[in-house]
Structure 1
Amino acid sequence: MEHDLVVFVPGFLGTRLCRDGQDVWARCGEQLIGPAAAALTEVALPPGLGDAPPEGPFRLDADALLQVPDSVPGLLSCMGYPDIRTALGDPLDAQFVPFGYDWRLSHRLVARQLKARVARELDRWRAEVDAYYPDRTDDPRVILVCHATGGLIGRHYLQCEDGRETARTLVTLGTPQKGLVQAARLLAGDAISGDAGPGADVAARLNEALRDWALNLPAVVEMLPLHPAVRVEGKRHERRITDNRYPVPGLPGDAVREAVAFQEEFRSGCDGHRRAGPLPYTVHCLGSVDFPTPEALVLSSDGSRIADGLPGPGDGTVPRWSAVADWTGTDPMLWTGFRNADMASGPALRDAMLAIRAGRPPGGTLAGEEGIALHFPRDPVAAGRPFVIELLGHDLSRRNLQTFMWRSGRKDKQPVVFRQYEPDRYRAELEATPGRWVVEALVDRPKGRDRRDVTVVAV
């Protein structure tokens, strides 16, 4: 309702991690894509941390919400949250709580931190609300809006940390309810292929650095997919990463067991509450099926190596099968035309939030940006080598097509020239210096936009 407290939980990468006011992750990310091999030691966690908070040199300050695009190559991207207040329907300063946190840590631990923060903020807001909403019909509760993996934190808080007693609504935006195939490949040391893009030597360096770092991050381990997401060449049926007949090469069994324990704890919480009746809060889950998305990894016929990946419908990060929140016992899905990294933007979210805050159900399908999609090569790509991007959309030449490219964190944009090569298909060939780059395409009649980020590495 309009008088409720609005709490926003960003996803993985969505909070700046700082030490002495310096963005440590940004510095490490630049080193990672540079010409020399770089370990992510400044943003590492000690082995076996579990659900404990880090101490000493491992502790970082969760400074503020991310404002510019960022990514972990081979895992996921975040476009940042520069317009999040607008996207949430412009709540008052006093009733808006952006919850920044250390995204490396266990979702269990962060759910407990969220519980403490919500308790303080809700007490404060209930003491102030009469000055803003004197005609309200009940006491304020919480509208919890969670982007991407932030939804794993939000749902754990609600179902396992007694948060359901405070909530009126949970809104998740591209949350991997059943995990990400990319997490399995990252932890197996196979997130980045050298067949296309940066080359075998660079891919091997990046895979080693990312795997060594991510194996000690509880948040990445808890992203592992537990839905059937493994295919074996020559076999008919999908398998789970827990299938001991075909274990994923390089994926540690301890990590799989930790992921299973995390999911089982959440499911147990849901089962316990289900006996008491339906959820006391409403759930709306924004997702998409408009973009090719990693759906499964493919093992060689003897199971000795990861041979390939298999795409399917999704939001570019989360496949359809993982986006569906079956734990609610309802159909909470709102299908949009937006990528995961952009799902917390104003165009994707605002109409739904205005309806939710007014006490109305949002539409079953949100129109989003119709008929336009960018397709990139595998991320990352090599600096100094041309790479091709494609743009798909109907009658774009008559819809005032505008396309730009810029370095993340900088304002100067340069135009990109796309040339049509088939009906509704356009292509551009680009080169870029090392860094994180964003490509954006805009059209009118009807309005549409798609944005993709790409990591360019030195070779």
Structure 2
Amino acid sequence: MRHDLVVFVPGITGTRLRRDGKDLWALSPGMLAGAVPPRRLLERLALPEGIGDGRPEGPFAVQADQLMTRPTGLPGLLMNLGYPQVTGLLDGVLPEQFVAFPYDWRLDNRLTARDLQARVERELARWTEDFRTHYPKAEDDPRVVLICHSMGGLVARHYLECLGGRETARLLVTVGTPHRGAAKAVRFLTGHGVGKSLLGRKAAALAGGLGERLAELCRTFPSVGQLLPVYEAVRRPGFPEGYYEDLTVLDVGLPTAMVQDVFAFHETFETAVLDNLRRSPDLRLPYRVACLGGSGHPTTHGVVVSPGGELGFLDELDDIDPWSGDGTVPMESAFAAWALRGMDEAMWNGHRHGQLISREAFGHQLDAVYHGKSARDTLAGDDDFGIEAPELAVAGEPFEIVATGVARGRPVAATLTSHDPAAPEIRTALTEAGRDELRGSLTAGPGIWVLTVQAESPKVVQREAVMVVQAQ
């Protein structure tokens, strides 16, 4: 496998989008300070109504030219810490055999899978001609290793099973991929994306309007609808605990066509997997699947619909115990049940969704997968802990951070840092607040900040991106 072509497929918001040489959504300090009205900013990203799996043209087209390397995102959709040099996480991978696949993450994942197919075929042909210069003793021709974050895993698995990519694949690694969707997608498609928990007063006042505009924008993105949960995620109040239905049974206020499309998208893939297995002489996938995910953070798993149609969002199992996940994707959905037999075959760590592609989160796990080690040799430690933090804050107004699952007496501190060299580091200690919680508050100026929550004895670090805007 050392001589294989390695392809990295990022997740939603993980690619820079540009038009006419201008960055459309990596927000500048001027934008965050209110120089560009949010509605105008969001309109730059919208797609035409009814685009389906087509490609945008004219004023809707963009250039998706490189991975995001700095923190960015849209509060209520996803905040992204940016991707590190992925080749640095893999020992022995040459620059010539590594391919990053940036793409327009607004578009239908079927279309993106076709683009991935074309890119992989072109790059594999190039590498096949040259690889023996570097690996003269290789016993076979190179195949493809796909490393995918978040939605990138949905793109890659569609390419593998529906577009013939399985014939040249050696390994698929999914990292925080919502294999069965995520209930958080219901939030940002129904105007509830920016949760008001932990927000300051001014930020909470902004959250409603931003959530509505974000829902309007995201409903133009076919890809976002394909993140909806296809597991049974919806509950009526008063029904027995543990009784849930799927989105085709209980109406949560989403367009019918959007709900039908996400189920059709998954059904197409699942049917292709079964058909391909039936044609296989040993009834096995021709490539290996490794599944990595985050655990230990409160994660929206379900939706509750009141008799009046109001929505509530559940991150507690039957309103008692918290669901575990990476803060965005529940563990049950991050598990590739279509390829693996049990949850213990996956690799888990205690980090959040936006931090999963990092050396401290899974660098050793990824390197272990790449070199064929067992999942059981790379389990998360017992010293991991969960955090909750708002994605949105207002300049000058304090916002809260909560750490859960931290042993009593263990020191924990929270720090805000910025890529702006003139911005000072902002730090506070978290203190005990009952119910196995530590709390603290921070205040910052406009910008996209990296929140680092660090526990000592032993040292464990959690990170998240926070957008701080100037109230208008």
TM-score scaled by length of structure 1: 0.91
Aligned to 1:136: 138
Query: What is the aligned counterpart of 2:330 among 307, 313, 319?
Result: 319
Q: Distance in 1 between matches of 2:386 and 2:324?
A: 15
How far did 1:230 drift? Answer: 1.3
Contact preservation (8 Å) 1:356, 1:362: yes
Within 5 Å, give how 1:33-432 maps onto structure 2: 34=34, 36-39=37-40, 40-193=42-195, 197=199, 198=202, 201-236=205-240, 237-243=243-249, 246-249=250-253, 251-276=254-279, 277-300=283-306, 302-311=307-316, 312-331=323-342, 332-358=345-371, 360-364=372-376, 366-368=378-380, 371-373=383-385, 375-392=387-404, 393-394=406-407, 403-407=414-418, 412=423, 414-421=425-432, 425-432=437-444
1:392-415 C-alpha deviation (Å, 9 max, x unpaired):
4336757xx664212366585514
Label 1:162 to 1:352 Cα distance change in 2 as closer, same or farther (>3 A). Answer: same
Query: What is the aligned counterpart of 1:435 among 435, 447, 451?
Result: 447
How far did 1:54 drift? Answer: 1.0
Label 1:78 to 1:350 Cα distance change in 2 as closer, same or farther (>3 A). Answer: same
Q: Secondary structure at the match of 1:207?
A: helix
Q: Distance in 2 between matches of 1:116 and 1:288?
A: 31
Q: Distance in 1 between matches of 2:28 and 2:432?
A: 40
Q: Distance in 2 between matches of 1:319 and 1:37?
A: 30
Contact preservation (8 Å) 2:428, 2:442: no
Aligned to 1:454: 466
Q: Distance in 1 between matches of 2:166 and 2:264?
A: 22
**Alignment size in residue pairs:** 452
Q: Which moved more, 1:438-447 or 1:285-294?
A: 438-447
Q: Distance in 2 between matches of 1:122 and 1:352?
A: 25
Amino acid at match of 1:242: T
Label 1:396 to 1:114 Cα distance change in 2 as closer, same or farther (>3 A). Answer: farther
Q: Distance in 2 between matches of 1:154 and 1:306?
A: 32
Amino acid at match of 1:76: L
How far did 1:18 drift? Answer: 1.2
Q: Secondary structure at the match of 1:327?
A: coil
Aligned to 1:16: 16
Structure 2 runs not aligned, ≥5 long:
317-322
Q: Which moved more, 1:401-410 or 1:315-324?
A: 401-410
How far did 1:263 drift? Answer: 1.2
Q: Secondary structure at the match of 1:135?
A: coil
Q: Secondary structure at the match of 2:428?
A: coil
How far did 1:126 drift? Answer: 0.9
How far did 1:196 drift? Answer: 5.8
Q: Distance in 2 between matches of 1:374 and 1:353?
A: 22
Q: Secondary structure at the match of 1:105?
A: coil
Label 1:136 to 1:17 Cα distance change in 2 as closer, same or farther (>3 A). Answer: same
How far did 1:84 drift? Answer: 1.5
Aligned to 2:320: none
1:255-297 C-alpha deviation (Å, 9 max, x unpaired):
1111111111111111211212210000000012211111112
Q: Which moved more, 1:125-134 or 1:192-201?
A: 192-201
Structure 1 runs not aligned, ≥5 long:
none
1:16-57 C-alpha deviation (Å, 9 max, x unpaired):
111233221124997488484524111111111111111111
Q: Which moved more, 1:424-433 or 1:282-291?
A: 424-433
1:210-245 C-alpha deviation (Å, 9 max, x unpaired):
1111111011011111111112211121121111xx
Contact preservation (8 Å) 2:346, 2:375: no
Contact preservation (8 Å) 2:172, 2:287: yes
Q: Distance in 1 between matches of 2:32 and 2:420?
A: 17
CA RMSD in angstroms comes to: 2.5
1:99-158 C-alpha deviation (Å, 9 max, x unpaired):
111111111001111111111111111111111111111111111000011000010010
Contact preservation (8 Å) 1:169, 1:281: yes
Q: Distance in 1 between matches of 2:29 and 2:45?
A: 10
Q: Distance in 2 between matches of 1:322 and 1:404?
A: 31
Q: Secondary structure at the match of 1:51?
A: coil
Contact preservation (8 Å) 1:7, 1:144: yes
Q: Which moved more, 1:265-274 or 1:147-156?
A: 265-274
Q: Which moved more, 1:47-56 or 1:32-41?
A: 32-41
TM-score scaled by length of structure 2: 0.88
Amino acid at match of 2:365: A
